[in-house]
Structure 1
Amino acid sequence: MYAVHDEFPQLPGLRYLNHAAVSPWPQRAVDAVSRFASENAQTGARDYATWLQIERRLRERLQRLLNAPSCGDIALVKNTSEALSFVAFGLDWRAGDQVVISDEEFPSNRIVWEALAPLGVEVVQVNLHSGNAEAALLAACGPRTRLMAISAIQYASGLRLELPRLGQGCQTRGVLLCIDAIQQLGALPFDVQTSQCAFAMADGHKWLLGPEGLGVFYCRSDLRAQLKLHEYGWHMLEHAGDYQRSTWEPARSARRFECGSPNMLGAMALEASLSLLEEVGMTEVERALQERMQWLLDGLLRIPHSHLHSPLNPQRRGGILTFSLDGWDNQALYQCLRDEQVICAQRGAGIRLSPHFYTNARVIEDTLALLQQLATA
């Protein structure tokens, strides 16, 4: 069973509130990578079959985390951007098709769709703060809308969308729903079936507590063959490993999106990190994270001249809280916090704080005390 203080032995004085960017690894991920490195040094790939078993466990953990119908729906990819590109350049677009997104998307979930302009595809950006966000997004879906691409939680404001409502609305309108889940997966429960999404993707290095360079791509089974492939290699074949076979076909599973050798080093780390999330349970992760978010929120509301740029309603937020202080330039405030070992990010309208379920109360109390000093200095 996990012990949080053992899993995250962070430096004394460090206030880590940047999980929406890059998370620290739990100790078990560090240990898994150390063992893997030692095995490589001592025996090379002698035990590759064992490594494959760990990779298989990773796929199973990701299937459970997303509540995907099958492990065959899960592809291991380099990052969210790669998965989004598989969708954007895999669908058979027609001139005049539209993609609906929000006007707050991280560049990965905007540029990939704007890159379709030479094919005659139009990107429609929707303001999420003009009223009801889900209603506004669905209202923007017209007869030419082919796909809605939306972040489950917006990276700067932290606004959390009601995904089942969007999924049902898209289903009714015959629109494919593509969810960038990077700011929700690992922070809150996420369910591709309840969301009725066609595609979902996320990196492992944020709320999943894993390394950069390895992510997950969910593709609904009835849509896999409809995505035109642009990457080919030995690993994406139905009969991968049969090197003498002269005929070939792409794998029927989502492995068709994995063209070459796997990131086995990343798989060792991410599988270990996901084992921690499973031990804790996503219901408890959400509860503990929301508790820490409320501590931060209540503290910021007591600080004079502070302004919150994130939702106050717990149902509308994940693990992101963005604020600003009167009299402080955001860049200067960010640098001051960094100098005091508060690890955060400058995003959107202010400074973004993002704790996780394990964040120590002292980290939050020290950060709020520092902000109180800065606001009244």
Structure 2
Amino acid sequence: ISLRMSLTVFLLFLLLIPVVAQDGWAVNYNSKSVCTLKGSALSMECTYTPPSNHSVQKAFWTKELVTSGSEPPDLLDDPEYRGRVQYLGDEHRDCSLRFKNVTETDQSKYYFIFITNQPGGKYQGAGGVDLSVTDLQVEVPERVIAGDNVTLTCKTTCSLTVRPTFTWYRNGSSLSSSTDQLHLQPVSSDNKDRYHCAVLGQNSPEVTLNVRYGPKNISVSISPSGKIVEGSSVTLTCSSDANPPVQNYTWLKGTSLVAEGETYTMKNISSVDSGEYKCRSSNEHGQKLSEALTLNVLHPPKNVSVSISPSGEIVEGRSVTLTCSSVANPPVQNYTWFKGTSSVGKGETYTMKEISSVDSGQYKCRSSNEHGEKLSEALTLNVLCESVL
């Protein structure tokens, strides 16, 4: 059924329910009850028969059951129905009632009554017709997990009298399904689509799927950004996408557990904190590990020491090399050699060829980079005189 067609729906009822009086009075409602959609139109089919010697003076519908001699109110005189109801029948046999734009307040029982020209000539069809008014709702499974096959159901609060044709829409575009169910298989964690169903031009409210899934798109950020210098404070933050949100965060340095929580703060950071850090995020649907973030802590030289080659006794006339070793990040940029308090050379090594006794003394190395400098402990060089036979 096209959504462009008129909302008017004529409900034809196959079950005939006669109500006949002893003297030939009769009202036949084509159905005891009808169910229709809010906003639609319908016709209640009905026929009636007066006795042969009676002439019908008035025929109308009412919501009240006659219990006394008084005349019940005519539906056409009710302001709530004025302009929305129409009597399609005549004064002979047809007593059909037509509704336009049915509202929720129209849900009630309706009776047909006719009055003739004879004394006591008033008759109401017993039983009446129950009108139920419903709207459309899309029923979504209470729990939807990524990868599941999901069925959406277009529901009404009562069973529509006329078997309807359903139309399903995703993000405003119609789909091929024409039954009361729409099958989605399988659903993705990225499913943000809007769904609704329609019957006879009436639309349900839109729904979206609340798809549950384990953590994904895990990443680690560092604050402050830029260079990390020894002694400063650093905070790592774990970000992820999950539904429900991540319940547990675990921090790893290499393969060792170092902390828990969405953030990990290291105060007064040192070179030993350098390394690769990962965050593991988890919820009830799974867990995932982030890519590694490399933390590179910058610091001035430390552990500065001096070694001598060759080792052992140093005899005049030989060649001796002093080597400066240190730990620094970035690496040492300048080495300066001192004998006592006097600068004697530069570079990572200091070589003395044909050494003599005047070279004896205490030697130190000063290592420096952009973050500072440090002086080694003194190395004492004792040059022995060469033996003369």
TM-score bracket relative to the smaller structure: under 0.3
Structure with the larger strand share: 2
- Tell me the TM-score normalised to structure 1 length: 0.18
TM-score normalised by the chain length of structure 2: 0.18
- Indicate the structure whose relative CO is greater, using CA pairs within 8 Å and at least 6 residues apart: 1
Determine which structure has more spread, i.e. the larger CA radius of gyration.
2
